[in-house]
Every structure is written in structure tokens, then in C-alpha cells.
Amino acid sequence: MKLPFVLAKRFVAGESFEEAAPKVQYLNDQNLKLTLDLLGENVKDKETVDRTVTAYIDLLNGIKKQGLLSSISIKLTMLGLDIDIDYCRDNLYQLLDVAKKQDQFVRIDMEGSPYTQLTIDMFKDAFAKYGRHVGTVLQSMLHRTLDDTRDLAELGADIRLVKGAYKEPSDIALQNMPAIREAYKECAKILLDKTPFPRFGTHDDELINWVKDYTVEKNIAKDRFELQMLYGLREDTMIELTKDGYKTRVYVPFGTDWFPYFTRRLMERKENIWFVFSTMFKK
Ligand SMILES: Cc1cc2nc3c(=O)[nH]c(=O)nc-3n(C[C@H](O)[C@H](O)[C@H](O)COP(=O)(O)OP(=O)(O)OC[C@H]3O[C@@H](n4cnc5c(N)ncnc54)[C@H](O)[C@@H]3O)c2cc1C
């Protein structure tokens, strides 16, 4: 049974690009850059994957044609990682060929821990071939991430650092917020010290203020890193940060397959449940 989209509309910009377009344009008009994400994950059949690849190529072309300030994010399990690794890589490279030709950028989102090593390996191969047109994501909650951060920072990779949105067991990931925040700061230091343009995906004031203070202390300019948040959350804060001279970006998901993304938003913060109800009853 498919749930009604009204439930998700606080966090998801529309069920199609056309439906999301006015919100996308509005955010760009506020000088916020975007990452567009066509929702979907763990696709098990090639027909759906092939359709997704075409939809992503159309999206890259649409962004170019409309002059939007937007990159895209993809999930490897939407490009066939659960079916076959080489098939998934071919699909990713199809998108990256377009992105490179049109001077665009594709970020590989990070999924649950069964996919961490596969994602990093595929990112490294893609980075060797496509350089600044591809980036990925690291999750500070994983025990392995400090090592991964050092490794990818050494390459000068374009990394979005987040806490991690997937429930993981204690042998794989930190379980309490103070430890996850401390790990985030350690990774952020490495990325700020060693990579040209790190991105910080968080709504957490403690971390945002820490990044601001650390960069002042180290004399790192405001235009040498980016602060990123998710669509529907803290939009006013993003606008304020932009006015204060920080580089900002909003991650804007859209598409019909919104349920897993929507569930992760509800699980990570109880206030998000109230947001859903308040949006439902707004005209
Ligand atoms: C741009 C972006 C891309 C992401 N990409 C990925 C990805 O590829 N893979 C992945 O696993 N995860 C991804 N995530 C999700 C991420 O891992 C976290 O699950 C999510 O961001 C919640 O953590 P948080 O640090 O934002 O705040 P939380 O840990 O949820 O909250 C910490 C504190 O921050 C403050 N806060 C949080 N939300 C709000 C709010 N709406 N308003 C006011 N204060 C608030 C509160 O003080 C709260 O106590 C992404 C997140 C962002 C922002």
C-alpha cells in the first residue's frame, strides 16, 4: 500500500522534478546552491535501474538547460550495486560522462555499512577517471571513518561529512551523540586541513559553531568549505548563513520512492514527527 505524499511533503520537494521545480527555483533565488536527489535505493531489477539512469541523465541535462545552481546525488544501490558491481560502475560512468562533458558534479551518497567499502572503492576508481566531477560521503559514526577520512583526504577528494543516517550495531558504529560529535570534529579537522573544499552536512549547531570557530582559528576563509542541510529543515538558518558569507547547499530529494528517506528523517529526530503533522494540516 502506498502512503499519501502529503505525509512526506515537509522533507520531499515533490514526486516529480516538475512538481519540485518551483521550490528548487525559490531556493536558488535565495542564493542557496542545491543537490538534487532522485529518491530510490536497493533496486533489484535492471529495468528500473536503466530507467533511473535515463532519469538522472535527463536531470543533469535539465539542470544545465535551466541554468540551475545544482549538482546531483545518487545512491549506488539505485544504480544496480545489489545486482552486479560492473553493471553499477558502467551506470555510474554513464552519468559521469555527461557530468564531465557539461562541467557538472555527481556525489555518491553513503548508504548503510554493508555498502561502505564497495562505495569507497567505486568512488576511488571514479575519482581517478573523473576527478573533480565526483565526490562521496563519510559518516562520522562509523569506527572506520577516521581512517577512511585520512585515506580520502590524502587523495584530495571532495567529501561531504555527515554523522550517518543508518542504524548500525556497536561493533561497527559509535552509539552515543557526544562520541559521534567528537569523531565528526576529528574528521572535519583532517578534511579542512588537507582537502580543497570540504562539505559539512549537519543541522547541529554545536558542529556548525565548531566549524565556524575552527576555521577562524586556522585562518581558513569562509569560501573554502560548504555547509549543507536537508530540504525542509532550518531553511531560515541556511539563508542567514549565506548572508553571513558562508557557502551553503540544500539537499533536495524528490520522486515517488520517498518512503525509506522519509522514515530515516522521522527516526533521527522526534521533532520531525511533529513537523509532518503540522505540514499535513497547513493549507
Ligand atoms: C546535506 C546532507 C546530506 C546527507 N547525506 C547523507 C548520506 O549520504 N548518508 C548518510 O548516512 N546520511 C546523510 N545525511 C544524514 C546525516 O547522516 C544525519 O542523519 C542527519 O543530518 C541528522 O544529523 P544532524 O547532525 O543533522 O543532527 P541530529 O543529530 O539529528 O541533531 C543534533 C542536534 O542538532 C540540532 N538540530 C537537528 N535538526 C534540527 C532542526 N531541524 N532544527 C533545529 N535544530 C536541529 C538539535 O539541537 C539536535 O539535538 C545527510 C545530511 C545532510 C544534512
Q: How far is Cα 74 from Cα 138, in angstroms, rounded to an integer? A: 14
Task: Report the pLDDT value the prediction gives residue 282, as an integer from 0 to 100.
Answer: 58
Identify the CA nearest to 259 among candidates 40, 112, 45, 113.
40
pLDDT in tens, 192-216: 999 999 999 999 999 999 999 999 9
User: What is the atom index within ligand 1 of the atom nearest the CA of 141?
Assistant: 17
Q: Indicate whether residue 163 lines ligand 1 (CB < 6 A).
A: yes
123 lines ligand 1 (CB under 6 A): no
Average pLDDT, the chain: 94
Whether 204 sits among the annotated catalytic residues: the reply is no
Contact 164 CB / ligand 1 (< 6 Å): yes
d(CA 172, CA 79): 25
5-280 topology per CATH? TIM Barrel (3.20.20)
Distance 202 CA to ligand 1 centre (A): 4
Report the alpha-carbon distance of residue 49 to residue 195 in Å, rounded: 33
Structure confidence by residue, pLDDT tens digits, 38-67: 998 899 999 999 999 999 999 999 999 999
Of the chain, the percentage scoring pLDDT greater than 90 comes to: 82
Please give the DSSP secondary-structure letter assigned to residue 2.
P
Q: Provide the whole-model pTM.
A: 0.95
Is a pLDDT exceeding 70 seen at residue 117? yes
Q: Which CA distances in Å does 76 have to 35, 39, 111, 160?
A: 16, 12, 8, 16
β-pairing, 199-201 vs 226-230, is parallel
The residues spanned by each domain of the chain are 5-280
pLDDT in tens, 146-199: 999 999 999 999 999 999 999 999 999 999 999 999 999 999 999 999 999 999
Q: Is position 171 annotated as part of the catalytic site?
A: no
Which residues face 271 on adjacent strands? none
Q: Whose CA is nearest to atom 29 of ligand 1?
A: 204
Cβ of 137 closer than 6 Å to ligand 1, yes or no, is yes
Looking at 160, 181, 249, 265, which residue is catalytic? 160
Catalytic residue among 109, 148, 158, 257: 109
Mean pLDDT over 77-93 rounds to 97
Residue 162 CA, ligand 1 centroid: distance in Å: 7
Q: Cα separation of 113 and 237, whole Å?
A: 31
Query: Ligand 1 pocket, 230 CB below 6 A?
Result: yes
203 alpha carbon – ligand 1 mean position (Å) = 5
User: How far does the centroid of ligand 1 lie from the alpha carbon of residue 201, in Å?
Assistant: 7
